[in-house]
Amino acid sequence: MTTQEIAPETRPARPVGPATQAALWLVRELCAQLREEGVRYCHWKSNDMLARSASGENDLDLLVHRYDAQRFAEVMARLGFRRALAPGGREHPGVSHHYALDTASGRFVHIHAHVLLVLGDDTTKNFRLPIEEPYLASCDDRDLFPVPAPEIELAVFVLRMMLKHGTWDAVAVGKGAIGANERRELDWLLERADPRTLEAVVTEHLPSVGTALWSDCLRAVQDGSTLRRLVLGRRVLRALRAHARRAWWHDLTLRVLRRGTWGSRRYLLRRPTRKRLDRAGATIAVVGGDGSGKSTAVEGTSAWLGGPLAVRRSHLGKPPPSLLTLAVKGPMYLARRAGLLPSAYASIDPRTARPEDFPGNAWALWHLFTARDRLREYRRARRFADNGGVVVSDRWPLRQISLMDGPRTTWVLRTPERFSRTTLRLARAEARIYGQIAPPDVLFVLRIDPEVAVARRSDEESGYVRARNAEVRGVDWAGSSATVVDATSPPEVVLDVIRRAVWERL
């Protein structure tokens, strides 16, 4: 039997290193399928922390041969990876971000994939080193991932540090120093690199830099002063000018502008950078009666997705009021408190309401403005999702549920002859508004025994809680796209079910 004929189950076992031992199931499966498909790739940087990356704590920086990019994409698609886009200016040619859920751990796996070896300042990544072929050719795969030879990884590492920390604008914003993690990575590479091989690598693959300048840069990264790095950084920028994607003045302008705008957004506005899904965002709604755990589920789902992605929390049950709503409802609220409008908050079951139950036009006007605010919040959510973001909403108007978040006055249209023209206009206006609110892209229904809900929400009127949960429990959701979740389960179990279903549907 030849080597090619050995069955998979009888192949010699691969060595088990630290990365393999720490790796999530999804990461191990990704590496196995890439190997089976013959994809040429490697984990190209920060290999001193490879075990943490394999465990999902850090992202995985993969360099993929451009001829194998299609097969790489097919493997990623099979394993459920979704491409995500960084905000404007943070996307670079030949570089992409992909996320998938490791269902066993509940962790995201983030692949930062490079087809081109792009590096430079974090704001522009202006340089592409055309050495992908020798970089990949130097790799060995004695552990989970193929990794480059330490000499070529060190050669590129030193240039990365100079481009990142050796410019005056980096120093001006406090980024001129070499960080502790970067020093640890440098020491790790120096321990493994052979000096003679390293010199040959720089001479052959980085001729525009040369061994003399590269050696000066290494010393500056090790223990040089900030002024020394600034002088050498300028020389490195000139040496790599042939590999720049933009002219030096264009790159400098972008760096300065982006440091100001990105820094203001992050440190002044407290708005961290989040990625958006490439193919489409989504609206996710969690509905259920009081005591079913909606708020806990929404909070947990938002926090989980909000790590890597642009996420917006919404509440279509209690939307923020518009100025017009405040101008109309404010006086009505004061009048009700004074006992002048006792009917404004009347609770009417639209399924069984009779004409004689109608509380009056003030009540209908109140619910019309509630509907208007829900439509405004729905439009905001829809725009955010259609631009690649993810909206997680507590409640959502649904035609299957009448006691929560749906039209309150349209039952009067069943007997129009019994009501005034003004009442009918208010009811029709409310119906038009709810007609514009489409179902969410992903719907979760938390179903719970009404008596359990009553016990959970002892602070609420029991009949109110019981009726809402009974309605949700009584709906036949089989013909809908809803995912029905048993809300009597512990919160962590409910959240795990939601995580898995969300990622399947995004």
- pLDDT exceeds cutoff 90 at 137: yes
Q: Residues 231-249: what's their mean pLDDT?
A: 94
Fill in the DSSP letter of residue 140.
B
The mean pLDDT of 58-82, rounded to a whole number, is 95
Tell me which range, 186-190, 288-292, 448-452, is most confidently predicted by mean pLDDT: 186-190
pLDDT at 221: 94
Order of strands across the sheet that contains 107-114: 41-43, 60-64, 107-114, 95-102, 82-85, 276-277
Minimum mean pLDDT among 53-62, 136-145, 159-168, 338-347: which range? 338-347
Instruction: Characterize 155-169 residue by residue with b for buried, 16 or more Cβ atoms within 10 angstroms of its Cβ, and e for exposed.
Output: bbbbbbbbbbbbbeb
Residue 83 binned pLDDT confidence (cut-offs 50, 70, 90)? very high
90-107 pLDDT, tens digit each: 888 899 999 999 988 888
> Which of 47-61, 110-124, 131-145, 466-480 has the weakest average pLDDT?
466-480
Mean pLDDT of the 114-141 span:
93
Give residue limits of the domains in the chain.
16-147, 280-505
* 169-179 pLDDT tens trace: 999 998 999 99
138: closest CA among 51, 75, 184, 198?
Answer: 198
| Three-class SS of 67-87 | HHHHHHHHHHHHCCCEEEECC
Measured distance CA(161)–CA(398) in Å, rounded? 55
Percent of the chain with pLDDT strictly greater than 70: 95
Return the pLDDT at 343.
67
Interior CA angle at 180 toward 178 and 185, to 5°? 90
pLDDT of 88 strictly over 80:
no
Q: With cut-offs at 50, 70 and 90, classify the pLDDT of residue 4.
A: very low
Domains 16-147 and 280-505 share a fold: no
Of the candidates 453, 493, 488, the residue with the CA atom closest to the CA atom of residue 470: 453
pLDDT tens digits along 309-358: 899 999 999 999 999 999 998 888 888 777 777 666 678 888 888 998 89
CATH of the domain spanning 280-505, picked from 3.40.640.10, 1.10.30.50, 3.40.50.410, 3.40.50.300:
3.40.50.300
> What integer is the mean pLDDT of 373-395?
94
Pick the CATH number of 16-147 from 3.10.150, 3.30.460, 1.25.40, 1.10.3470: 3.30.460
DSSP state of 56: T
pTM: 0.81
Model confidence at 15, pLDDT cuts 50, 70, 90, reads: low
What pLDDT, on a 0 to 100 scale, did the predictor assign at position 280? Answer: 72
What is the chain's mean pLDDT, rounded?
89
* pLDDT beyond 50 at 48: yes
- pLDDT of residue 26 exceeding 80, the answer is yes
pLDDT of residue 219: 95
pLDDT band at 8 (very low <50, low <70, confident <90, very high): very low
pLDDT tens digits along 408-420: 999 999 999 999 9
Q: Please say if the pLDDT value at position 386 is more than 50.
A: yes
What span, in angstroms and rounded, lies between the C-alpha atoms of 122 and 117?
Answer: 14
> Quick one: average pLDDT of 235-241?
96
- Residue 166: band (very low, low, confident or very high) from pLDDT cuts 50, 70, 90: very high
Please report the pLDDT score of residue 461 as a whole number.
Answer: 84
**Residues 19/144, Cβ–Cβ less than 8 Å:** yes
| pLDDT at site 253 | 93
Contact 218, 160 (CB under 8 A): no
Task: Give the residue with greater pLDDT, 24 vs 268.
Answer: 24
